[in-house]
Amino acid sequence: MGRVQLHCPSTHKTIDGFVIGAYQKPEQVLQGVRLALDIKYAALYTTDARHISDPQTLQEDERVLVAAHEDEVMLPDAVYSYVLYAGEEEADVDPDVEGYGEEWVNLSDHEKSQHILSLSVTKPSSRNKMRITRPYAAVHAEMVAIKQCDISVASAAPLPSSVSVSVSAGEQEQEGEGKGKSEAEPSTSNTPHETLIQDRWGISLDALLPPSMKPSTGKYTSTTHASALAPATLAALSLFASCTHGQPRLACEVLSEAVALRTEEDQTEDRDPVLRMDDVLNALDMVYERAGVIPVKLTKGKSGKARKRAKGRARKSEGSGGA
């Protein structure tokens, strides 16, 4: 057979020159893949996300995508792109989707989310295409309001009358006065901003964010919860979700890049990876930069994944030098 490149999207690991023997059976190849990538499960896919049942059909130097979990949905190895979107691809949306045929501006958050999610199914090759669903001017005005901590005014959209506005940071401090830190733990019920986020992204914030991005719920516990994020951070996330409907995976990747931008490059301040308001606002600017809407300031020559790979190589070289 020969050598191929393995890439595992969920772990961000890439192995060059993986050897597949001419007489190896599929299970033997998969065992080698698991060992090479240090994962417990492996399934092979082509770059257009088609399952590979016989590794012997692969070509020399072919790039192979590897799923690390049995329930993982493999995405095409497509180039990432960012565009402003206002329903232009409706012809490709499933007609059974809620709101189909309605004007984009008249769709609810939930209907816009379902619209975008449908495109991910009908056009799998475009799953890495972020469709930005709001113009920058309106979003920027709300970013400024959030920076001023005017959270009750800066929610990404009017809250339903049945939902009360989340308490401000000052009110939380007053409620926590006289209590120990472990006693003033946040409620595990959704805040109004979390409810909006779930409507827009189709997934709860707790399920989306990795534990490292969420603060612990108490001084003496390692349990993390999105409700423990600062109110301004939740407001910023609600705003981010309002212009990335139905695209939580892509949005979370940009959030990860924004956190990495702060923690990897800031050598003087606290490098805690817990998500902050500024991280989310930077992520918002980054997607509009990449869509060519505003001048580039935050987006670097390397993506967050490239920076992560470079950092990993640096660690390896340091380890080799000290051996």
- Domain boundaries, given as residue ranges, for the chain: 2-67, 81-155+192-215+223-301
CA gyration radius for the chain? 22
Q: Phi and psi at residue 51, in whole multiples of 5°?
A: -65, 140
Whether the CB-CB separation of 280 and 258 falls below 8 Å is answered with: yes
Would you tell me which CATH number, out of the four given (3.10.20.90, 3.90.230.10, 3.30.460.10, 3.40.50.1470), belongs to the domain 2-67? 3.10.20.90
* C-alpha to C-alpha distance for 210 and 256, rounded to whole angstroms: 9
| C-beta contacts of 35-43 below 8 A and 24+ residues apart | 36/6, 37/6, 37/8, 37/11, 37/13, 37/66, 37/68, 38/13, 39/8, 39/11, 39/66, 39/68, 40/68, 41/67, 41/68, 41/69, 41/70, 42/66, 42/67, 42/68, 43/67, 43/70, 43/72, 43/74
**According to the model, what pLDDT value does residue 266 have?**
62
Q: What is the pTM of this model?
A: 0.68
Distance of CA 203 to the CA centre of its chain: 12
Contact 34/17 with Cβ under 8 angstroms?
Answer: no
- Output the pLDDT for position 256: 94
N- to C-terminal Cα separation, the chain: 35
Contact of 20 with 77, CB cutoff 8 Å: no
d(CA 142, CA 76): 34
Tens place of pLDDT per residue across the chain (323 aa): 799 999 998 888 999 999 999 999 999 999 999 999 999 999 999 998 899 999 999 999 999 999 999 999 888 887 789 999 999 999 999 999 999 999 999 999 999 999 999 998 898 778 889 999 999 999 999 999 998 864 444 444 443 333 333 433 333 333 333 344 333 344 456 789 999 999 999 999 999 999 999 998 776 667 788 888 999 999 999 999 999 999 999 999 999 999 999 988 765 566 789 999 999 999 999 999 999 999 998 765 444 444 444 344 334 434 444 33
Q: Cα separation of 198 and 115, whole Å?
A: 15
> Comparing C-alpha atoms, which of 39, 94, 44, 98 is closest to residue 68?
39
> Burial letters for 210-241: b for 16+ Cβ neighbours within 10 Å, e otherwise?
eeebbbebbeeeeebbbbbbbbbbbbbbbbbb
For residue 309 the two structure tokens come to 């790979």
